[in-house]
Structure formats: structure tokens, C-alpha cells
Amino acid sequence: MAYRGACALAAGLLLAGCAMPYSPAPVASNFPSTHQLKVQAAAHWGVIARHMATELGPTLKTAPSRSLYVQPLQASTFGEGVKTHLITALVNDGFVVVKHPAPGALKIELDTQVVAFSADRPQYRYAGLPTALASGAWVLTSIQHSPEWLVTAGIYGYDAHRWFTAQFAPGDTPKTEMIVTVSVADEQRYYARNTSVYYTNDEDVSLYDAALAAKLAPPAPASKTFAVKDH
């Protein structure tokens, strides 16, 4: 017992020594795990626009007599697509949306900022799969293990795997992300503002920021020119 106690004390002192009470700089630590949506289709732009309309609706209804004008702050395929979806959502909700800026109209600004992180950023995956599979195995233990059951269990297990993991986007964690802000304002002040962040496919950066896509594009291969002389 005394030997075990000494070992435990030594281990505790060793661990305590690893956690220094003081350091010249803050110790890097991770944020709690969160989910972030990945934009992969033009239909998702419509989902984003409808979310904007829902978030802005309560504020816009306080001034129902004022018309609205939607303006993307950056020229991009994404900006124009979201503008179209947002106008549709607002008109369907009963708001007056004008085609051109008008005196007294509230301006709805769409601001998109695309950022590119390191290409070798850490890759993490969901941790719920083993639990889901273990739960499925526990539920199926009371069933007779006939050959037909094995086939059925395999199908159900595959379906359960797809069901539990369908919410997670396939592939590596993208290096490009998009910060989307929608604001309601006039010449004097902001009335409402909402910001969301999304992953984007690295191959689709040009849809969101053509200038950034040009910077991230690999350099063209070097070429040599040869001159042929007649002798």
C-alpha cells in the first residue's frame, strides 16, 4: 500500500509539474466543439436568404410603410444569387421592394467576406459513430442470429450509419470560409444586423470572391521558347 501511495504521489507531482502556474504567453487551447454549415449548392443560397428574411422580419415590420432596396456590397455570383432569393422571400412576406434606390427606402446591404486559412489545417470528425453503432448492436442482440437476420442487420446497420452521419459534410475540412452579414440601414443608422459564417468548397471560391480565387490559383507552369535557325 505504501508503495502504491508513493507512486500515486509521484505521478501527481509529475502532472502538477507539467501544468506551469505562470507562462510568458497565453497557452493555446481549443474552443468547445461546434457545427458550421457547408455551402455546396445554389439551393443553399436560398436557405441563407430565407434565414436572413426571417431574422430581419421583426425589425422590418416596425416600419411597414417604408420600401426596401437590396444591395450586395461585393460583386459576385453568390451575392447576386442571394439577392434574388432574398427579394423573393421579402416580396412573398408582403414587403415592398424597389428595383432602384428611392428616397426614404431602407437599404438591405449584403456584405460577404471570404477568408482562406492554412491548407493543412487540422482535420476532425464526428465522435458519435461508435455510440450509435454500439446502441444499434445492443438493440439487435435479442434477435435470432439466422443467415436472413445477418443480411437484414447488415442493411439496417448501414442505414443507421448513414442516418446518424448524414448531417456531416463529406471530405476534408475546407480551408475557405465565408462571413455573411446582412444589415438594414438608412443614411443615418443601422436598424438590424445579422452575421453568419459558413464553410465553402475550396474549388468554388470564384463563386464568392473572384479576386481571392485568382490569388489562390496555382501558378502557371513555366514554359521555354526555342528558336530554330536555318544553317
Q: What percent of the chain has pLDDT over 70?
A: 63
Q: What percent of the chain has pLDDT over 90?
A: 37
d(CA 37, CA 199): 6
Q: What is the pLDDT of residues 192-226, one digit of tens each?
A: 999 999 989 889 999 999 888 888 777 767 666 66
| Mean pLDDT, rounded, of the chain | 77
The answer to whether 75 touches 102, Cβ cutoff 8 Å, is: no
Question: 197 by DSSP, 3-state: which?
Answer: strand
Categorize the per-residue pLDDT at 143 as very low, low, confident or very high, splitting at 50, 70 and 90.
very low
Q: What is the pLDDT of residues 36-80, one digit of tens each?
A: 888 999 999 999 999 999 999 998 888 767 899 999 999 999 999
Q: What domains does the chain contain, in order, with CATH numbers? A: 38-118+174-216 (3.40.50)
The answer to whether 208 touches 178, Cβ cutoff 8 Å, is: yes
Predicted local distance difference test score (pLDDT) of residue 196: 93
Residue 1, C-alpha cell as written in the block: 500500500
Judged against a pLDDT cut of 90, whether residue 109 lies above it is answered with yes
Q: What is the pTM of this model?
A: 0.68
Question: 76 by DSSP, 3-state: which?
Answer: coil
The answer to whether 50 touches 188, Cβ cutoff 8 Å, is: no
Which of residues 152 and 53 earns the better pLDDT score?
A: 53
Which of residues 12 and 63 earns the better pLDDT score?
A: 63
Q: What is the pLDDT of residues 154-172, one digit of tens each?
A: 555 555 445 445 555 556 7
Predicted local distance difference test score (pLDDT) of residue 136: 45
- Show the DSSP H helices in 76-170 as ranges: 77-92, 129-140, 147-165
Number of H helices, E strands in the chain: 7, 5
Question: 55 by DSSP, 3-state: which?
Answer: helix
Judged against a pLDDT cut of 90, whether residue 190 lies above it is answered with yes
